[in-house]
Amino acid sequence: MKSLDASADHSRIQLALGESFRLRLDENPTTGHAWRMDGDGAPALALDGDAFEVPALVPALARAGAPGHHVWSFRAARVGAVTIELSYRRRGGAPARTFTLAIEIAG
């Protein structure tokens, strides 16, 4: 499984049908900001997981208000070209950051 992070912003990846990848972006929901999907690539991509994770290596950070990572798992479900678009924003507010990933899925 491929693993991607913020360094993949505005890039293009290629997947084979059925191949999976994981996207991990920094997030701290207690600031009021959270990553929201503006375009999820459906139906060519299947969302297999969507979670918030706190780094386990630093137990002192694993408390309420701690920063962590928003992690999504996707699977290539159909052949074609799709784009994932995410925005880091408060509900109803303007994006503080954005993330875009173009994906080509081959059969």
Torsion angles phi and psi, residue 101, rounded to 5: -140, 120
Spatial strand order in the sheet of 11-16: 11-16, 97-106, 80-89, 34-40
Instruction: Quote the pLDDT of residue 57.
Output: 58
- What confidence tens digit (pLDDT) does each residue in 56-88 have? 655 555 556 678 899 999 999 999 999 999 999
Reported as a pLDDT band with limits 50, 70 and 90, residue 5 is very high
Question: Tokens 């799709």 appear where?
Answer: 82
Q: Which fold has domain 2-106?
A: Immunoglobulin-like (2.60.40)
Task: Return the number of other C-beta atoms located less than 10 Å from residue 9's C-beta.
Answer: 14
Q: Where are the domains of the chain?
A: 2-106
